[in-house]
Amino acid sequence: MFSIEHDFDATVITLVDEGTQPLGEDVIVNAFEECVTIEQYDPRTDKTHKVTLSMTQLRDLGAALDLPEGVYVQTTD
């Protein structure tokens, strides 16, 4: 399950794990104009971890999800 909310400066996507046990904590994706952040609460440390991806990193991640194993360099035409 997931939800999508449009805030003033970001689109917020929350991914909820609904599978069998053990379930993972919710993942929150914040899409800003210049970057995307991914957050997840860690109950073992009682902290929320955040990863920030540039738009280039996000584009490369999206491309990598559909490619076979290997090393790739994206070029701009």
Instruction: Quickly state the pLDDT bin for 52 (edges 50, 70, 90).
Output: very high
pTM (predicted TM-score): 0.81
Query: What's the CA gap between 66 and 8, in Å, rounded?
Result: 32
Q: Is 71 part of any domain?
A: no
Q: Is 72 part of any domain?
A: no
Q: Is 22 part of any domain?
A: yes
Q: Which two tokens stand for residue 71?
A: 């090393």
Q: Each residue of 20-44: pLDDT tens digit?
A: 888 899 999 999 999 999 999 999 9
Q: Is 69 part of any domain?
A: no
Task: Give residue 29's domain range.
Answer: 2-64
Count of domains forming the chain:
1
> CA separation (Å) from 56 to 8, 11, 17?
23, 18, 27
Q: Is 75 part of any domain?
A: no
